[in-house]
Chain A
């Protein structure tokens, strides 16, 4: 089962290792992980997407709370989820379809964000499942894509 949690932690030495260890020690895979400081505080927000047995997950959440630098663990069914993806196309493959690519990117809150003599780069921002759809559509039509996904960020509604 797919789960997303937000962990609010103190910015201190080794905190990321502590959190990640907690998952690793219980055989739980982290699908995606994003970390960034929370402005005007000494805290960071880690958003962790993971998949596995709900009972183990419940235990992980309790164990996370036990870690000294963990301030809060937010679990919710009502997150706004956003992820960014960047896709690099070889220019010579797509030079006749730029309008098409741009139009599809716009459907996913994106656009062509860079063009040079060899590549174009498209970036989109959307829900992770919609990003999946976008990438599926692009991969069906074009080849030799380079894809970078940011991992999911969430906020409670």
Chain B
């Protein structure tokens, strides 16, 4: 029997085991939506904005490890989706995005709602397709899912001209796929692994530098085992929070611009940095010429283009972090002397004691760090945390007690404000049994606030904790530090919405909080409400994120903490 292109899309999604599609209909994609109407195999979640839909698919993918699927129309549909796609691309999140397109005959005629969609998404996707023949469609969808989740994952975009969704062909979904030009390397080179193991055994001051690749490859268990056995000090990037438990004695915390002093000194003073799926981002290395001057680098990454991109790498290993470490572990356990690193551990522990992450708490005003810590105490261990971008994101990364990988969902690479709330909704859809909490700021939350309605309609009760300082806080902090406190366009105190009414108007529930007790009460009520909740927490307006490596400074030049005021 022959199927239309639109039917092929539906059948292919079913074959891929897709449970939820996030999207927004429109003219060019209508035939596909007509088929969505007729089926019962998967759920469609109607967002209020295409960007929201893609962030939801992204949050779903990050929380579950599955491929997230989004569907939008042509023209403004796909351009609205661009920020969502770019966010997923920078953080290596597997997505498949379908967009409608004007009929093939109209392409290039400046037709209504026409945009060169594959031209727009080319630099922000792992790959993209313009489907010109319905005969190719099933294969392309199969290829798209395969590309999205294999190797270094990423978003794949399929542009579907309207006539292709009407045209008919026989539906054959390929069982297997093999591409001549794309063969990711999963298993590391044995000799390279052996050399790296020898280097670790010989090192005096090694450090595990754990990155997002460890989360994606599911390497948390083996990393925990290796760290426990070797007692090698470890640091996590923003993308890797939760790979080790917060209370692991060998975890020095987050590394980088707002990392802990001990973590940054570990990188600075190490003689061997073992990178596990991290990419030496500028927010991690600080001034690159002064980064880890005495260290050799072991770099394990599935993407060869990351190795040697920023730092000179003596021991490159191309492969999947988990598979490489599983091969490394027995070699390492055979003869590694954990005592050898004791002196090194003592030095770093001393740094921890001297300069722990801290803030001066008070009862006069709520400190944002207190809110994060308190949430960690009040919430179950398995809650999912999402964040927007800014000060609150860094406080959450610093102070939340993370216990498992995929617990922290944040726009790390692109730094997309407005990501947290829709990502939380998507995550909730993926892991219904868990509580999902989004830490946001009074700036970020306003971007994509429309999605409260989506949460209401689909019963996705996520809790938004708005750390409200009436500023675009991170920019304000930089203005104070580096621009003589000239607060250009960052003071939001003259225009604040009533977050309580705002939430209520779209079926949510809101709380305005000015004291610690009020926060605890509001949090418990929000949990019980089973609705999208906003907790508008009025925090110390001028609190800074500290410690901090000033931009383009070496890691060791951290600004520690302000003297007490």
Contact = CB atoms under 8 A, between A and B. Distances in A.
Interface of A: 9-10, 13-14, 17-18, 21, 25, 58-59, 62-63, 65-71
B495 interface: no
A68 B127 contact: yes
Contacts of A68: 126-127, 147, 179, 181-182
B132 interface: yes
Contacts, number: 39
B180 interface: yes
B123 A10 contact: no
B73 to A, nearest CB: 21
Contact of B305 (A18, A59, A71): A59
B180 A71 contact: yes
B119 interface: yes
Given A10-B180, A14-B130, A59-B305, 20 more contacts: A9-B181, A10-B181, A13-B118, A14-B118, A14-B128, A17-B119, A17-B122, A21-B122, A21-B123, A62-B305, A63-B305, A66-B303, A66-B304, A66-B305, A68-B126, A68-B127, A68-B181, A68-B182, A69-B181, A71-B181
28 contacts: A10-B180, A10-B181, A13-B118, A13-B130, A13-B132, A14-B122, A14-B130, A17-B119, A17-B122, A18-B122, A25-B123, A58-B308, A59-B305, A62-B304, A62-B305, A62-B309, A63-B305, A65-B304, A65-B305, A66-B304, A67-B127, A68-B126, A68-B127, A68-B179, A68-B182, A69-B181, A70-B181, A71-B180
Contacts of A14: 118, 122, 128, 130
Nearest to B304: A62
Contacts of B132: 13
A66 B302 CA distance: 11
Interface in B38-89: none
Task: Specify the main secondary structure of chain B where it touches its partner.
Answer: mixed
A28 B57 CA distance: 35
Contacts of B182: 68
A101 B151 CA distance: 58
B380 to A, nearest CB: 40
Nearest to A66: B305
A66 B182 CA distance: 8
Contacts of B180: 10, 71
Interface string B111-129: 0000000110011001110
Nearest to A61: B305
A65 B127 CA distance: 13
A70 B305 CA distance: 14
Contacts of A67: 127
Interface in B305-333: 305, 308-309
Contacts of B123: 21, 25
Contacts of A21: 122-123
Contacts of A63: 305
A65 B302 CA distance: 13
Contacts of A17: 119, 122
Contacts of A62: 304-305, 309
Contacts of B305: 59, 62-63, 65-66
Which of B127, B132, B305 has most chain A Cβ within 10 Å? B305
B130 A59 contact: no
B213 to A, nearest CB: 15
A40 to B, nearest CB: 15
Contacts of B128: 14
Nearest to A69: B181
A141 B412 CA distance: 62
B161 to A, nearest CB: 12
Nearest to A70: B181
Nearest to B306: A62
Interface in B106-154: 118-119, 122-123, 126-128, 130, 132, 147
B184 to A, nearest CB: 10
Contacts of B308: 58
The 7 closest A-B pairs by CB, nearest first: A62-B305, A68-B127, A71-B181, A68-B182, A66-B305, A63-B305, A10-B181
Given A14-B118, A68-B181, A59 B126 contact: no
A12 B343 CA distance: 58
A134 to B, nearest CB: 38
Contacts of B303: 66
A69 B179 CA distance: 9
Contacts of B147: 68
Contacts of A66: 303-305
Contacts of A18: 122
Given A17-B119, A68-B126, A59 B309 contact: yes
Nearest to B180: A71
Nearest to B156: A68
Nearest to A68: B127
Contacts of A70: 181
Contacts of B118: 13-14
Nearest to B305: A62
Contacts of B181: 9-10, 68-71
